[in-house]
A = this chain, B = another copy of it.
Amino acid sequence: MALGNEVLIGKKPVMDYVTAVIFQFNTGSDEVILKAKGNMISRAVDVAEIVKKRYMGQVKLDGFAVNSEVVRNREGQTRISTMELTLKK
């Protein structure tokens, strides 16, 4: 779920990812990058919003990137959006 200062957003409850981000900030990171694909993008935005509210102005959204990648599945291949949100303390 967390690699270095990255947090990969998946299907776990939102609060699990909020906890992972807060842990990163509390153990010395100034910056945490949330990474999400497809439907998980909405969840990443939820995580960012909750962390911002918890830290009341101390954490802000510092960067944002969207991209897409090709994924192969049983029906052939499809394009899926990806997003990175950078939170800074």
Copies in the complex: 2
Most B CB contacts (10 A, CB to CB) among A39, A42, A48, A79 go to A42
Interface size range on A against B: 10 to 19
Provide 15 A-B residue pairs closer than 8 Å at the C-beta atoms, listed in order of the A residue.
A39-B39, A41-B41, A41-B45, A42-B81, A45-B66, A45-B81, A45-B83, A48-B66, A48-B81, A49-B66, A49-B67, A49-B79, A61-B64, A61-B66, A66-B85
Question: Which residues of A in the span 36-69 have a Cβ within 8 Å of any Cβ on B?
Answer: 38-42, 45-46, 48-49, 53, 61, 64, 66-68
Closest to A45 in B: B81
Closest to A39 in B: B42
